[in-house]
Structure 1
């Protein structure tokens, strides 16, 4: 499906949107629920990724196909490896078979897991035979995707001796690690994070309780972008969000203040107020702790005809697509002057924005959603627009609610 996006009748945007639960929190809590069946979940994400995760956790043997869901691949690798009696082949899309899994597999094998590669060394598909794990000491490079680390930490309470994890080098995804540990704490599972050492104690049972998933801050980023590109006086309400969020992407409130957008917390929602035009010419930001919002920020800067220099983006090379190269190609189509390295993006202020450009999405939900807010500035096409269902199935409906013309073709 291709969509043609046209500007709203007015860029003075006033709307309220309900955003589905965080994909990151949902996937973590779903895994914990598989370990402790008396946990209940509210506001779970309606994304494809969360549905794939839930389906995978219900499997006992056979082929588990997680499609494009990278989080599910990492989390389910650790889950199946530590569950006696489960025997699966874990696979996914063509792109998933190109995304490395070797670091996590090596760590699990160091603990005593039985995992082998079906085709290419270091990549899915992988064959996993669940075993009782008694070893508990393991190390990982600290600069890898936090999902590898969280995969081990989430399964740790079910292990006979828990886990003592040593991270080697500079840690780059602390908020996601802290999210995982905070959820364990909510369940009464003892853990500690001191320096580069993380310990999780074993726990056979937890008390009956309901965990409420906060709405997704990554999904909120697109509304922040729309607020930034809108007229002064615009206001967008989003629910349900917490001031003390576990999600690293909540740094959006700080970043978008630079674009003239204030965030107001009211009860269980936030209001985005466009209060002024940007006061800076170049945004410089290290996104090592929140790489998933890089695409949105880069497109916002382009739409505001600002420059930016974004760093800490090394994990974007192995996402659903190489997001840095994809941004380079698609923003250039729109008239941007942009350069990328393997971990940075530099954008020069645009003098104009090309109209009726068709944006390729590369099987990447965030490419589709990050470029959509440019509809406030120009007419634009989004190819393969259905890819948004990976994390935000209601996205195009919500865009129409804001007054943006969404025309399927």
Structure 2
């Protein structure tokens, strides 16, 4: 379903409650399946987390996780240690194009029994769960952190624990540290020294406890963008957030300072306020927070300023090739974008300087394509503060943030189906 976003004026002050982090929720859901002693609160209501929970509870032989990339990786490791269980893990057409070989080979090094059912190195895969006794494995340090986290999450269930060596320069360190912090929180011992991560085996019951998942910083990114595009003085309050967050995307606080957005932590909330208008060119290395690249690129485009984003090598294997998708959609709107396999360079220009006023609503332009990618839909939504636009397949946002459009309406956005 396509949504039309009419040119909107934001309320001067607004508040939004955002549910738990998808990244934290998916890790904790897997750990809870391994260690049922603890309970979870504020779990993400995203499609991905719902699929993760459903798959973990499933007794079926075939588990279909659709577009959920995190679930595919985490569940590959989870089912590998489910002794006596045989599962076929599959997903959408796009999921069958996303590589899984690095993780599968690492699990095989530990003794796992996994076979490819269609294309070598890609889902679907058949997993025969068994006890894994090997405890040493090596990965290139620049692979997706989800491969690393998948191994760390099951490590305490390996008979001899895990010693994981990372070769080269480590990327996505915040996501690895998030996983280790969550292990620590439930009582599993680990260490991260130089390039070696060690997780001790755990054969005993853990102490029962209730963990509250912090709200999702990736979802917060769209409100940072919205505030950046408004007049000085506009405020949005978001809950529930911690100043010492485990999530890599909390770097938004520093990045959006450069766009004139001030962030204040107040109890369990953050207050975003537009303080100044800063139209200087921007340059960011997002190697530790690639999921906010689309948001930042669209913010820069809407403000008509130059922007260089680096460290984006993982964006090519997401729900779509996000670098190509960004270039295509921004150029539809009159922008100029250059990309490499790991960077994006936006040239400065006045928004819609070529196509005056509202190109989409006047029939002078094309709707924004989302490519089955939730972040494309949400990243482009703030443009409605500058002009009207149409977002194709707008309900794709349910993958990570099902109430996104309702929340935008609550703060002043005019949206029709």
Category of TM-score, reference length = shorter chain: over 0.9
Separation (CA, whole Å) in 1 of partners of 2:351 and 2:311: 28
Tell whether 2:409 aligns with 1:400: yes
Structure 1, unaligned runs of 5 or more: none
The superposition leaves residues 216-262 of structure 1 with CA deviations (integer Å, 9 ceiling, x where unpaired) of 00000000000000110000000000000000000000000000000
The superposition leaves residues 40-77 of structure 1 with CA deviations (integer Å, 9 ceiling, x where unpaired) of 00000000000000011112441100000000000000
Q: Give SS of 1:30's match.
A: helix
Q: Give SS of 2:61's match.
A: strand
Which among 383, 386, 398 is matched to residue 395 of structure 2?
386
Separation (CA, whole Å) in 1 of partners of 2:411 and 2:2: 19
Contact 1:61–1:86 (8 Å) recurs in 2:
no
Tell whether 2:173 aligns with 1:164: no
Separation (CA, whole Å) in 2 of partners of 1:112 and 1:368: 41
The superposition leaves residues 281-338 of structure 1 with CA deviations (integer Å, 9 ceiling, x where unpaired) of 2110000000000000000000111110000000000000000000000000011011
Deviation of the 1:39 alpha carbon: 1.0
Query: Quick check: 224-233 or 202-211, which moved more?
Result: 202-211
Separation (CA, whole Å) in 2 of partners of 1:300 and 1:146: 26
Q: Match for residue 58 of structure 1?
A: 57
Contact 2:11–2:411 (8 Å) recurs in 1:
no
Q: Match for residue 187 of structure 1?
A: 186
Contact 1:13–1:227 (8 Å) recurs in 2:
no
Contact 2:310–2:342 (8 Å) recurs in 1:
yes
Q: Match for residue 220 of structure 2?
A: 220
Separation (CA, whole Å) in 2 of partners of 1:108 and 1:232: 52
Separation (CA, whole Å) in 2 of partners of 1:378 and 1:387: 22
Separation (CA, whole Å) in 2 of partners of 1:40 and 1:352: 48
Q: Give SS of 1:378's match.
A: coil
Q: Match for residue 229 of structure 1?
A: 229
Q: Match for residue 155 of structure 1?
A: 154
Separation (CA, whole Å) in 2 of partners of 1:60 and 1:247: 32
Separation (CA, whole Å) in 2 of partners of 1:18 and 1:383: 25
Separation (CA, whole Å) in 1 of partners of 2:109 and 2:159: 16
Q: Match for residue 363 of structure 2?
A: none
Separation (CA, whole Å) in 1 of partners of 2:311 and 2:191: 26
Separation (CA, whole Å) in 2 of partners of 1:13 and 1:226: 12
Deviation of the 1:160 alpha carbon: 1.1
Separation (CA, whole Å) in 1 of partners of 2:187 and 2:349: 52
Deviation of the 1:7 alpha carbon: 2.2
Contact 1:11–1:231 (8 Å) recurs in 2:
no
Q: In the TM superposition, what are the counterparts of 1:115-264 in structure 2 within 5 Å?
A: 115-204=114-203, 205-264=205-264
Deviation of the 1:31 alpha carbon: 0.3
The superposition leaves residues 7-45 of structure 1 with CA deviations (integer Å, 9 ceiling, x where unpaired) of 22x345321000011000000000000000111000000
Q: Match for residue 384 of structure 2?
A: 375
Tell whether 2:367 aligns with 1:358: yes
Contact 1:49–1:391 (8 Å) recurs in 2:
yes
Contact 1:81–1:113 (8 Å) recurs in 2:
yes
Query: Quick check: 186-195 or 234-243, which moved more?
Result: 186-195
> What TM-score do you get using the length of structure 2 for normalisation?
0.96
Separation (CA, whole Å) in 2 of partners of 1:346 and 1:352: 16
Structure 2, unaligned runs of 5 or more: 361-365
Separation (CA, whole Å) in 1 of partners of 2:54 and 2:86: 15
> Cα distance 1:116–1:88, how it changes in 2: closer, same or farther (>3 A)?
same
Contact 1:60–1:86 (8 Å) recurs in 2:
no
Query: Quick check: 255-264 or 51-60, which moved more?
Result: 51-60
Separation (CA, whole Å) in 2 of partners of 1:11 and 1:36: 45
Aligned residues: 406
Tell whether 2:60 aligns with 1:69: no
Q: In the TM superposition, what are the counterparts of 1:269-348 in structure 2 within 5 Å?
A: 269-278=269-278, 280-348=279-347
> What TM-score do you get using the length of structure 1 for normalisation?
0.98
Deviation of the 1:159 alpha carbon: 1.2
Q: Give SS of 1:358's match.
A: coil
Separation (CA, whole Å) in 2 of partners of 1:35 and 1:388: 29
Q: Give SS of 1:359's match.
A: coil
Contact 1:61–1:87 (8 Å) recurs in 2:
no
Q: Match for residue 87 of structure 1?
A: 86
Separation (CA, whole Å) in 1 of partners of 2:44 and 2:285: 28
